[in-house]
Amino acid sequence: MATALVTGSSRGIGRAVAQAFARRGDRVAVHYGADRDAAAQTLASLDGSGHAIVGGDLGDPAGAQDVVDAAVAALDSISILVNNAAVAPSAANEHRVDATSYDAWQSAWAQMAAVNLVGAANVTMLVAQHMIAQGDGGSIVNVGSRGAFRGEADHPAYAATKAGLQAFGQSMALVLAPHGISVASVAPGMIATERQTPKLEGAGGDGIRGQSPFGRVGTPEEVAEAVAYLTSPAAVWASGAVLDLNGASYFR
């Protein structure tokens, strides 16, 4: 039985990952940043027992430490980490370089860098040192983005921080392999989460679905199954990989 910390697992991809882990018998620490009620819904949806909820702002170094400490205390150990928490693109944090103010630009970059990149790096450092001390190996998966490769015109900070996260994962793969810890990333395209429902049901929905030759977008469950594979013993040799999950909507 593995023990997993899944950041940002109160909904969407993170919730699906937590559910996939629980189905195979893992115990999961469900992390939330602000919405404890949503995290409680995730917890209630998990198969098995011994799961926990941990809350905290990963954009704050002390908050990241508290989250990891709470997860270790609740599960007794962490053998899997999924860095899924992120400040996601929205109309409120749009910062297209030819149509934004300097204040809005600074705000978007600061928020996204603090959580998407530095926060994930801090959690990884703390969990990796815990795994090393345990001496039993482990696995880490970063949830990146297709935007890291194709760019995001309206949210360049999001694309840049996801690219940084994927590169960071490869650096960790080099260092942690001798300790029996694998590190990989997934790079999803558009996924049908609650957050994307307005876009997918709006006037541009058909165009978004048309980006893939399958004529649809991905599901959280499809991402979760890939993450489950990358955290399985069979996937150790995939350490350092960045797995595209975009339905052939973008090639690199």
pLDDT, tens only, 208-227: 999 999 999 999 999 999 99
pLDDT in tens, 148-181: 999 999 999 999 999 999 999 999 999 999 999 9
pLDDT in tens, 91-118: 999 999 999 999 999 999 999 999 999 9
Please identify which of the residues 9, 32, 79, 162 carries the catalytic annotation: 162
Structure tokens at 237: 């040799």
Average pLDDT over residues 11-23: 98
The band of 197, judged by pLDDT with boundaries at 50, 70 and 90, is confident
Average pLDDT of the chain? 97
The band of 21, judged by pLDDT with boundaries at 50, 70 and 90, is very high
Q: What does the pLDDT read at residue 196?
A: 87
Cβ atoms of 219 and 192 closer than 8 Å:
yes
Structure tokens at 131: 């795994």
The structure's pTM equals: 0.97
- C-alpha 46/C-alpha 173 separation (Å) is 30
Closest Cα partner for 141 from 152, 127, 130, 129?
127
Average pLDDT over residues 132-149: 98
Sheet strands side by side (includes 181-188): 52-55, 27-32, 3-6, 80-83, 138-143, 181-188, 242-245
Please identify which of the residues 9, 145, 182, 249 carries the catalytic annotation: 145
Q: Could you tell me which residue, 220 or 196, shows the higher pLDDT?
A: 220
Q: Is the pLDDT of residue 248 over 90?
A: yes
Domains annotated on the chain, with CATH: 3-245 (3.40.50.720)
Average pLDDT over residues 29-47: 98
Q: Is the pLDDT of residue 18 over 90?
A: yes
Known catalytic residue at 32? no
187 CB contacts (<8 Å, ≥6 apart)? 144, 145, 146, 148, 149, 162, 166, 242, 243, 244, 245, 246
Q: Is 247 left (phi over 0), alpha (psi -120 to 50) or beta?
A: left
- C-alpha 134/C-alpha 245 separation (Å) is 32
Side-chain-facing half-sphere of 140: CA atoms under 13 Å: 34
Please identify which of the residues 9, 79, 139, 158 carries the catalytic annotation: 158
Instruction: Count Cβ atoms below 10 Å from residue 207 Cβ, excluding itself.
Output: 10
Known catalytic residue at 229? no
Average pLDDT over residues 55-66: 98
CB-neighbour burial class of residue 66 (10 A; exposed 0-12, middle 13-18, buried 19+): middle
